[in-house]
Every structure is written in C-alpha cells, then in structure tokens.
Amino acid sequence: MTRLILVGILLLLSLAFVLQNQEQEVTLRYFFGLLEASTPIYKPVMAGFVVGLLVAAILLCPPWVRSRIQLRRKTKALQQAEVDLERLRQSIEKVSGRTPAPGDLEPARHFADE
C-alpha cells in the first residue's frame, strides 16, 4: 500500500512538472554537436524518468521471478507431503483398525535432552 501511495505521488509530481514546463525550450546536441534539436524541456526529463523506471524494472524483475518460482516449487512439495501424510494415516488406520491419536505419528526421539 505504501508503495502504491509513493508511485501515485511521483506520478502527480511528474504531471505537475510537465504542465508547468510546457513552454520552455531546450536545445539538445547529439553526437558531440553534430546534430541539434530544439524541444520542450519536459520531454528529455520525462524520457530520463522513463528510462530510469525501465532500468529499475529490469534489475528488480529477475529476483522477483526467481522467488516466485521457488515459492511455487515449495508449495507443490508441501502439498505432496500433505497427501503422503494423509495416505500414511489411512494405511495406519487400516492396519491397526483404530484411529491414531495425534501423538502416535510424532517421530521417535532417540536422544535425551541435555
């Protein structure tokens, strides 16, 4: 939620900047002065802003995707473990002919607490 508010504030500030600087002109010199272009000042500033957002998205996207893939794998493994556990509980019920108590399925402790 905080991130959404910050993005909204940034967008409002950039919109205010564009509206206040529509008439001011700037001359851009490309390739060491070989090519010149006159443009409103907000265009190069907004282009820099957009390039910065793209670079940030490119840098942040791979770790986010990687973490989502790991989360999906671990969720599937947990679901499979739950299915196996339920199958084991049912097999214990069939063999013993009774419903196991919750303490019956706990792992045995081989070492005493020190």
Question: Is the CB of residue 18 less than 8 Å from the CB of residue 46?
Answer: yes
Q: Closest Cα to residue 91, out of 77, 105, 103, 80?
A: 105
Question: Is the CB of residue 89 less than 8 Å from the CB of residue 105?
Answer: yes
What would the pLDDT profile of 21-73 be if each residue is shown by its tens digit? 778 888 888 777 778 888 888 888 888 888 988 888 888 888 888 899 999 99
Cα–Cα dist 86/3, whole Å: 41
What would the pLDDT profile of 93-114 be if each residue is shown by its tens digit? 888 876 556 665 555 555 555 4
Cα–Cα dist 77/79, whole Å: 5
User: Phi and psi for 106 in degrees, rounded to 5?
Assistant: -75, 145
The pTM of the full predicted model, rounded to 2 decimals, is 0.47
